[in-house]
Structure 1
């Protein structure tokens, strides 16, 4: 029987602590801090994510119940509700933002060779945004509508491993297309987006950065056909055309040529029109790549269901953003552990097991093995009969 370190401590082995200290020092996070350092704050919030705590009071009560084990993970001081609340409200959320980017960089290297269903050498990203609704009277800083507040999480998802390579948190009032101004085009990569990102000036910036894009066309987008390429209509492709924008402003914003592909999806019985600057891919491959964009929708659905980002422990902007960035860090940290330990279980299964074994003294690989729970006396009749004479 394993009598070594607890599961939480083993998980933290995959945490680059030196990089975390660099992020803390960059923003002076521990300046004049007497108790509950930034690292201890991170551990408390990570504990809440891993054990599905919904409110701050529950988190502190559970941590106090495990007070004799907290020193094993690096929490040296007694955790008080007011101290943790103040830390979330006042400390710079950019510490955890920068640290999440460090973890993302490590995870992307581990998942670089994963297959996402299409045999392509290029890196493929899916870009989208999801809104988290907030109460207007409690979160007045998160501007959205006159009756409610909200924040928007913009995510660029690497389809190899479903690792977010870029995340930006803004007011829900910010339009999706504005996030293209923050992206640095990666030469040779393919960006898959929905029609909300159709802006010719911003798309041409991606094109000049030697990147490719695939997105749906809007119904009112005016394009002039230059010529058509032959297509195999049995694959669902209706036409494959080379086009230019018709309107003067659009033509000036995007002076190059575009490729327009019309496709009929038998599953949804919808007719879709795609625009891309990639002229080498097969027309059906372009349609298949757009279908892969659904992975970012599933990512948003997954993190909203399994991470604590719908109810917040604080009401200030730093508190909300700190909680979201730590939640993303926990997601990526578990993904790193899964890859390095070569675990076959899904992230959902791993998180479920971690939630009940986090302070157990057992190897993580054992905890994830189904045979670990089998009764060693399974053979033979072992049930006692209360009515035997």
Structure 2
């Protein structure tokens, strides 16, 4: 038995309508800007989601480091374990993004296990196998006392039937809004907890996959993983799940879970919209600076990266602008000579941060914080 999808109350309906409106507006905005700029925003949002979802599980890698790892950088100052976890999750997220328009797509138990292997294959052991259901019990322990089980998942003997029911539900469309179905898919999978490890990230990824299949907007713009990764939100995420009880009880009302997810969708949409606006203003101001100082317009992307992410690397700048290694090095060297950028590190590990003559108005725009509205509070 799975949790029944609850009916939305009037406030939920209003919040969901606002989310739809923001997503539609963002879809048009993304289509109206250069592909290079939109692509850069998508890469950032993907990196932010990977960093946040992994941070929930205790793997701490900054978004800018995740971006560098995704770009193939080898000299990133992270532990080997964090590197493996980041790249594994990034590979799975990239695959999920490609499934948005896959023809004849259907969910299956084998597919879920294959996704789990992408995520956890590097940790596969006989005791904690990747890509197959667990054969024994699994617990979510209390963060304050690991000797206490905050949640005990269903017995392993129940998994085949529960997985069959979940897959059948995933493959049976209904008139439920796609974002609500995605939230329910997350709850179903995390409650069943079918694997020895990786259940949280798999459940959040399944939610993202359903958003991708909806097809309205690229999933990076609607995934709530970055929102969930903020410390206060992570705590509330665990609390909302904990209030479902210490054991699997699907015969209960989960309206609170839906409202929590609608809040997450709403505030994530606000965050993405604000970053889109801020990024655009940074680009405009950087272009004005390049024109005023006689610099080639292509260096705007380097200034943009430094302002928005804190640094730029030669490889990422060169890839963004389609430059040779020598040309990218030359551009960044000119900016460093003018004190617009400041080099940090040597050879392959080198990156550039803002120098003394970096345009201050650009930095001020990039660092202006965003205020978020709670749609459930008047």
Do they superpose with TM above 0.5?
no
Report TM bin, short chain: under 0.3
- Structure number having the greater helix percentage: 2
User: Greater strand share, 1 or 2?
Assistant: 1
TM-score for both structures, normalised by structure 1: 0.24
RCO comparison, higher one (Cα < 8 Å, 6+): 1
TM-score (norm 2): 0.25
